[in-house]
Chain A
Amino acid sequence: MRNLVIEPTSKTPKVILNADLGIFEITGRSIPEDAIGFYRKVLDWVEEYSKTPLSETVFKFQLEYFNTSSSKCLLDIFRKLERMHKNGHRVLIRWHYDADDEDMAETGQDYQALLDVPFELVPV
């Protein structure tokens, strides 16, 4: 399938979704006013990918900031990955965060508690 690469802006993260290389990453800031508009393409891509995923999918999230409207969109992505996991595919979500950033660690823990999919917290 076609790869999806979105360059970062001051309000939106860098997105790399590359099934050929097995790279799945969302990094940077996610504070757009219209988070649904921004994440629609990402969600569509993940939905399409989940039909015939690689034998293992490691999805990296490394966000410096995100707003509450992005938090719902992130949950929607996680739910799709959770479904892949429940369908028997190997999926790992890696939540990278600045080791001093307790708020971001806590948010990762919040998601971890809500989801039934391997979810690793990675302080950096």
Chain B
Amino acid sequence: MSMTYSYYKNMQLNNIIFVYQGEVTADLVSSILQMVENKLEGEGEDRKVKKRVFNVMVECLQNVYHHLDALPPTDPSNPVRDKTALLMIGREEKDYYIITGNHVLNDRIPELKSRLDRINRATKEELKQLYQEVLTGTGFSEKGTAGLGMIDIARKSGQRLGYDFHPVNDRYSFFSLEARVSRIPEK
């Protein structure tokens, strides 16, 4: 039990308002959205900011839900694949941040990285164009999303997306993504 206080202090120090580590299901995503929405509502956050945070959160969480690569079972007696991820939401003085972490196959890294870099290099106008191209051009990927999620996150965030690939073994890495939403409403 001695760790409890240090967990608490650590979360407080990092302005974390919510953190979850575990399996990501559709029901869990719904619960988190509802809880964080109530919290934003309760704290009287600016309406525009609140909407943006909610939108970015939906895309980030659903992105993980659709695209994480489950790890193969480590314990042969329990043949369940590991679909766990990390979801974290925090509030700093100027920004909300939404961080997700999940395993991805190493083979997917170059494509993901080039997509993120392209998004991070794009101007506001270019992001809008990219969004429209993807919206009208390509169909849905096999997992049912249009590849629009990250572009939309970047548009709503208005800031560069932070990311990292942490090597886990020769097949998997841990992919973290951070999106920030300014608490200072425009105009």
Contacts and interface: CB of A to CB of B under 8 A. Distances in A.
A72 B135 CA distance: 6
A55 to B, nearest CB: 30
A68 B48 contact: no
Contact of A100 (B48, B62, B136): B48
A68 B140 contact: no
Contacts of A75: 135-136
Chain B residues touching A, majority SS: helix
A64 B144 CA distance: 22
A71 B144 CA distance: 12
A74 to B, nearest CB: 10
A69 B145 contact: yes
A101 B140 contact: no
A68 B54 contact: no
B132 A100 contact: no
Interface in A51-80: 65, 67-69, 71-72, 75
Contacts of B51: 65, 101, 103
B148 A101 contact: no
A46 interface: no
Chain A residues touching B, majority SS: helix
B156 A68 contact: no
Interface residues of A, number: 21
B59 interface: yes
A36 interface: yes
Given A35-B144, A100-B48, A101-B51, A68 B152 contact: yes
Interface string A20-33: 00000000000101
Given A67-B62, A68-B149, A110 B144 contact: no
A102 B29 CA distance: 26
A35 B58 CA distance: 13
B159 interface: no
A121 to B, nearest CB: 16
Contacts of B144: 33-36, 69
A73 B152 CA distance: 16
B146 interface: yes
Interface in A95-119: 100-103, 110, 113-114
B30 interface: yes
B26 interface: yes
Contact of A33 (B26, B54, B152, B186): B26
Nearest to A67: B58
10 contacts: A33-B26, A33-B29, A33-B65, A67-B62, A68-B151, A69-B144, A71-B152, A100-B48, A102-B186, A114-B132
Given A10-B30, A69-B148, A72-B148, 19 more contacts: A10-B33, A33-B29, A33-B65, A34-B144, A36-B140, A65-B51, A65-B54, A67-B62, A69-B62, A71-B135, A71-B146, A71-B152, A72-B135, A72-B146, A101-B51, A102-B186, A110-B131, A113-B132, A114-B136
